[in-house]
Amino acid sequence: MSPRLALQEKDYSDLFPEGEDLQRQIGGRRRREGLARIFFMVVLIVAIGALATLLYTIINAAFGMTAIVNTVEPDTIVAEMGHDPEESGLSDLSYDELVMVLENSVTNNVGRRLERDQRFYEDRLVFENETTWAQICASSQAPTGCDAAPRDKAGVLQLVNERVVEPDVVETWELIPSLLEREVIEAEILSAEFQAAHPGARPEFRAWLNWQFVTSPQSPNPETAGVRTAILGSLWVIAITVIFAFPVGVGAAIYLEEFARPNRINQLIQTNINNLAGVPSIIYGMLGLAILVRVLEPITSGSFLGEGGSATENGRTIISAGVTLGLLILPVIIIASQEALRAVPNSMRAAGLALGATKWQTIRKHILPAAIPGVLTGSILATARALGETAPLVVVGASTFIITDPSGPFSKFTVLPIQIFQWTSRPQDEFRNIAAAAILVLLILLVVMNATAVFLRNRYSRSN
């Protein structure tokens, strides 16, 4: 034995627990382990619970019983038009019939105002006479109806609802109570005191999210408002965003991964992109406001193309919104595409160059196709995020109230998240309901986009 190890004489056995002490010590440690597991379960329950509660809250508000008072019942209108109310509803009437209903019901003044906002027919006027119309359209204060496309059936149906039926939802109930206690609620609505307070109230189960909701334009009236304007606005804005951000983003990623030498400038670019990814989205809105809306107004308002002429023409258009969001998601697309390119094995690059192809040819024919699934997945997810963005577009200047569908990149716009924001901010109960319905529409769109991304990722990773 070497002298060093003589120290081993010291007995440490009393310093470590043995026997019963040992069992107790181990028992204590295992108990702590058990507590930790319980804590983890709690955490997971909270996370899942939060998601479940969120969805529950929304779905609960988007469907339910209502007590509704109609000035004129839709069935009466249907009958007046010569149809059997048992078989058809208001939405089964033809376009012409609906216009006729309006003609019969609203005053001329109101009718003229409606027509000036948006015409009913391309070829003839309903409330206005031709000469007056020509005059006001020639003047400098020409109303929107002079240029805009005529109304469609969903729009006129909404008008009939608003102006003739005039539904007034006096009370709403949430979904779960509506399903479980339907008779109780119905009895309450039909009770004497309720009828005294709201004469003519009828119980009606209402799906606030329905086809009419999706196809009707915006309206200040929660009972008849729809999200069509917002959905189309969102689609237009996202289209511009993708057209701008996808090529630029993928291009930047290709540059950084395939061409850039590790010098100062390129490192600066890379750091810069990482920083930009963390900038709050509202800052991008301010950038868009100051530069796209204000400085570049001649371009973004479309006036350089001779568009507009209306006094309200300015840079708060779809193209400003689209480019702003494009700048917002650009860093995300770049980083995701970089990762996809990095995942392509180097042997492919070497092989391409060895065969005599130029760098770009190798990239175009071999590297990029291999990286496309990852690039697409990342881009779709980034676009989905853009779809849900609100703050930057509020700053850029979404219109608080527009009823006409956007017709091009230079139109005023509103988007679905902003519509939700506006409705949520109103105090009346019914706005709560349609906000929830709009949220469901947004979530459905997002689910579709994300599912596409996941599907692409799985499909291509399997074939690889």
- The nearer residue to another protein, 348 or 391, going by C-beta atoms, is 391
The DSSP output letter for 359 is: H
- The nearer residue to another protein, 142 or 286, going by C-beta atoms, is 286
CB pairs under 8 A, 24+ apart, for 328-331? 328/281, 328/284, 328/386, 328/389, 328/392, 329/241, 329/245, 329/249, 329/382, 329/383, 329/385, 329/386, 330/245, 330/248, 330/249, 330/252, 330/276, 331/273, 331/274, 331/276, 331/277
- The nearer residue to another protein, 104 or 358, going by C-beta atoms, is 358
| Binding residues among 15-54 for another protein as defined by CB under 8 A | 15-17, 21-22, 25-26, 29-30, 32-33, 36-37, 39-40, 43-44, 46-48, 50-51, 53-54
- The nearer residue to another protein, 200 or 247, going by C-beta atoms, is 247
Provide, rounded to whole angstroms, the least separation between the CB of residue 105 and another protein. 35
Binding segment toward another protein, per CB under 8 A, in 69-77, 112-120, 188-196, 390-398? 390-398
For position 304 contacting another protein by CB under 8 A, the verdict is: no
The DSSP output letter for 142 is: -
The answer for residues whose C-beta is within 8 angstroms of residue 382's C-beta and 6 or more apart is 245, 329, 332, 333, 336
Reading across the β-sheet that carries 167-172, which strands appear in turn? 167-172, 63-70, 202-207
For position 276 contacting another protein by CB under 8 A, the verdict is: yes
CA distance 32 to 40: 12
CA distance 316 to 408: 13
Query: Can you give the length of the chain in residues?
Result: 464
Q: Are 413 and 318 in contact (CB under 8 A)?
A: yes
Binding segment toward another protein, per CB under 8 A, in 72-80, 221-229, 366-374, 441-449? 441-449
| Binding residues among 401-420 for another protein as defined by CB under 8 A | 417, 420
- The nearer residue to another protein, 65 or 77, going by C-beta atoms, is 65
Q: Which two tokens stand for residue 142?
A: 């020409």
In the shown chain, the binding pattern of residues 231 to 260 toward another protein, with x for contact by CB under 8 A and - for none, equals: ----------------xxx-xx-xxx--xx
Size of the site for another protein (CB under 8 A): 101
Provide, rounded to whole angstroms, the least separation between the CB of residue 117 and another protein. 22
Provide, rounded to whole angstroms, the least separation between the CB of residue 214 and another protein. 18
Out of 282, 348, 370, 372, the only residue in the binding site for another protein (CB under 8 A) is: 282
